[in-house]
Amino acid sequence: MLSEMSATELGEWGDYFRMQSFSDVWMDAQFASLKALIVRMVSGSSDAAVADFSLLPEENGIPERTDEELMHLGEGISGGVRYGPDSQPGH
């Protein structure tokens, strides 16, 4: 693909990508919409919802982590430094 692009086209693509990056949520929404549209066209019914084809979990289904859980998970990071009461001498 790059061999078929001019330097100007590559620069324009770079500008576009900086403005409209392809995040996981955006890509999932695009493909879920496409799959739902194809199912609707082939089956002739409008029962297929976009959410039925999404691969990402719903945002309200992600539990909120407490500070204590985050600190515990941070202890396992190789080379990480813990800041707080547990990293002070005598604790």
Number of structural domains found in the chain: 1
Determine the structural domain holding residue 51 and report its residue range. 22-57
| Residue 26 resides in a domain | yes
Measured between alpha carbons, how far is residue 29 from residues 19, 36, 42 in Å?
Answer: 18, 10, 20
| Residue 4 resides in a domain | no
Residue 31 contacts residue 53 (beta carbons within 8 Å): yes
Predicted structure pTM score: 0.44
pLDDT tens sequence across 37-90:
999 999 988 888 888 899 887 766 667 888 888 877 777 666 656 566 655 565
Residues 6 or more apart whose CB falls under 8 angstroms from that of 31 comprise 53, 55
Query: Percent helix, strand and coil across the chain, each rounded to 5?
Result: 60, 0, 40
| Residue 73 resides in a domain | no
For the chain, how big is the Rg over CA atoms in Å?
A: 23
* Residue 47, pLDDT score: 87
| Residue 27 resides in a domain | yes
pLDDT tens sequence across 15-25:
887 777 777 88
- Asked if pLDDT for residue 27 goes beyond 80, the answer is yes
